[in-house]
Amino acid sequence: MEDVIAISGLFTTVIVAFLAFGPIGRAIAANITRKSLANPGAEVVDQLEDLTARVETIQQQVAELAERQDFTERLVAQGRERGAIGSGDQR
């Protein structure tokens, strides 16, 4: 009797493993994932809004740095035209 129980337990484990890791299990996992992504929790939405605000801040800072670089390049070019600044060659 104990052998029958052990064999049936092994058989059940193998069947469950095939279902869980096979196409049926993957389909169930995909369905669960799709549902959880379709309805994100409030925490995920808050994190997304925070990241969006951070990206906008970084974009603004990059734009300001680009303006400063342009201004600096114009000043250096004007200084070189007047001869006040060397060409940058260090020999």
Helices in the chain by DSSP H: which ranges? 2-21, 23-38, 42-82
Type of residue numbered 32:
I
| pLDDT score, position 88 | 61
Query: What is residue 86's predicted lDDT score, i.e. its pLDDT?
Result: 65
Confidence class of residue 90 from pLDDT cuts 50, 70 and 90? low
Instruction: Give the 3-state DSSP-derived string for 45-57, with helices as H, strands as E and coil as C.
Output: HHHHHHHHHHHHH
> pTM, whole model, 2 decimals?
0.46
Residue-wise pLDDT for 47-86, tens only, equals 889 999 999 999 999 999 999 999 999 998 888 888 866 6
Sequence-ordered list of residues with C-beta below 8 angstroms from that of 76, at least 6 positions apart, any chain: 85
CA–CA separation, 53 vs 75, rounded Å? 33
Average pLDDT, rounded, for the chain? 81
